[in-house]
Amino acid sequence: MKKLFRIKGNESMLGGVFAGLAEYLEIDVTLLRVLAVGAFFTPIPIVFLYIIMWAVFPKKPQTFATLAQ
């Protein structure tokens, strides 16, 4: 079973939310970031959703394999 994590590392820009979400959904992180920029101009405040996801998603534990990359 896949778990949803925030991924702080080379691919993350701020809190690692979109990097973790992209890994979970198996899509490119750039696509999620472009969609987020587009959603910024919608009535739903994407900034608040991002902060909520950042607070709720657990941080992905680092293993030796991820540290060696």
Strand partners, 59: 6
Instruction: Tell me, yes or no, whether 23 lies in a domain.
Output: yes
Instruction: Tell me, yes or no, whether 52 lies in a domain.
Output: yes
Global pTM value? 0.61
Q: For the segment 33-60, what is each residue's pLDDT rounded down to a tens digit?
A: 898 888 778 777 777 888 888 888 888 8
Q: For the segment 5-32, what is each residue's pLDDT rounded down to a tens digit?
A: 877 776 667 778 888 888 889 999 899 8
Domain that holds residue 32: 17-67
Tokens of 48: 């608040």
Buried b (16+ CB within 10 A) or exposed e, 52-69: ebeeebeebeeeeeeeee
* Residue 34 φ/ψ, nearest 5 degrees: -65, -40
Instruction: Tell me, yes or no, whether 10 lies in a domain.
Output: no
Instruction: Tell me, yes or no, whether 61 lies in a domain.
Output: yes
Domain count, the chain: 1
